[in-house]
Amino acid sequence: MRGEVVIWALAVLIAVALGMLVGFGVIDAGLAVLTVLMILVVGIIASRLGSPLDKAWLPQWVLIAFTAKLIAAGARYAFLVHSYEGVGDATGYHGRGLALAEVWRTFTVPTSGLFGSEGTRFVSQVTGLLYTPYRPSMLGGFFLFSTLAFLGQLAFYAAFRRAESNGRLKGYAFALFFLPSIVFWPSSIGKESLMLFALGIAAYSVARLFDGYRLGWVIPLTAALLFMAEIRVHITALVVTALAGAMLLSRGPEQGGAQLRRIALITVSVVAFTLVVTMTSEAFGIDASGSDLDPFLDDLQRRTQQGGSAVEGDPVRSPADIPEATLRVLFRPFLTEAHNFQALLSSLEGVVLMALLVWRLPSMVRRFSALRRRPYLMFSLFFSIGFIVAFSSIFNLGIIARQRSQVLPFVVALLVGLGWPSQAPTEPTTELPGRHLAETTA
């Protein structure tokens, strides 16, 4: 009952806020209708996502989190228009999307009017496709992309709940829904939102795949990987590598049929790994043998060590380089390095995550040997390590902060999954997000 009251109260507040925004001319009526439709879609998905473990609190958390996501989209839009005078990738995607939507409406795939790299052209195509049913304002485009990113967040939560059914679901949900990097950066028209969406679908498919190795889940996983490969093929390579490593090193299922399917999937993943490595090498102009990798890393370091957010450091070339790279990729900028509002949010987030990691590190070490029985966490570990290694060659903290949203759901899964003991299912409660710390710090 309390949860229903919270949902209705939030719905009334959102309706009043939208009405006021339309009345004062801040947004048009079309955008208000689009917002209501997106809230309904997310609400329906959240209601279907609920289980006896979380149905009492998840719907209202989702509504609060989605509201925060839309507010973040509005903030990103305001920053673009007022702080950067409309100059940014989102502006280009929006303009090209409007033009390409006219072609999509004729049931024709656009082949002209596309500019930039393959990933940029693909995002433009997707933007045009999303704009086909409705011609949104640029703020409406921000809302559409934010919704896709939030659906990816829901998929990440569903993956963790599937893999860690007795885990600390509220702690993971709170971090996934409210960490600033995940809320803020993937909330505009662009690659970050689409990547978070695709990564969430891939993570959920992987979690279902580990549950009996049912081959049907290869289909949505493949679709997500192909989607990611069009935008950032190196992230696709990390997913495939992490999946292959987790399948190889995790404890196999006891059923003979599942074991055979596991062996078949390992074989397929090796072939897929070879393919994506070749694609990644071609995309970055690196020889597949890796013989010219060092010059490439040196050039990337030189190009990213420019601007006010540039820092010193070295890419990972040996295990000894991993601690410094982990600090830079996951936790910086420090508070002393934050010179604007976005950097301040990132630095505060890094302080909290580092404090939690240091606090729970002994527990994580004690439970590390259990990873073989928890393949999704092993998958998360391999992806996180691969991400740190891959992005250790970037020395611009602004770039890293924007890219970090792709790895944080996996890092938090490890922190929550290993840092706290599993929790037996209890009677559902109706606590709000602000109460989560009492549970996760118990």
CB 194 within 8 A of CB 231: yes
Mean pLDDT check: name the lowest of 76-80, 119-123, 143-147, 162-166. Answer: 162-166
Assign 65 a pLDDT band (cuts: 50, 70, 90). very high
Is residue 28 predicted with pLDDT exceeding 90?
no
pLDDT for position 293: 58
CA distances to 6, 27, 303 from 149, in Å: 24, 22, 29
Assign 109 a pLDDT band (cuts: 50, 70, 90). confident
Between 414 and 250, the higher pLDDT residue: 414
Interval 278-303 mean pLDDT = 65
pLDDT for position 270: 84
Mean pLDDT check: name the lowest of 6-15, 161-170, 377-386, 406-415. Answer: 6-15
CB 170 within 8 A of CB 184: no
Phi, psi of 396 (to 5 degrees): -105, 115
CA-based nearest residue to 150, from 189, 181, 177, 122: 177
Assign 418 a pLDDT band (cuts: 50, 70, 90). very high
pLDDT for position 46: 82
Interval 380-397 mean pLDDT = 93
Q: Where are the alpha helices (DSSP H) in 131-255?
A: 138-163, 169-178, 180-184, 191-210, 218-231, 233-249
Between 425 and 213, the higher pLDDT residue: 213
Neighbouring-strand partners of residue 396: 310
Q: What proportion of the chain, given as a percentage, has pLDDT over 70?
A: 87
Between 160 and 35, the higher pLDDT residue: 160
Assign 197 a pLDDT band (cuts: 50, 70, 90). very high
For the whole model, what pTM was predicted?
0.89
Interval 412-428 mean pLDDT = 80
pLDDT for position 431: 47
Interval 1-23 mean pLDDT = 72
Interval 88-106 mean pLDDT = 94
Between 375 and 431, the higher pLDDT residue: 375
pLDDT for position 48: 84
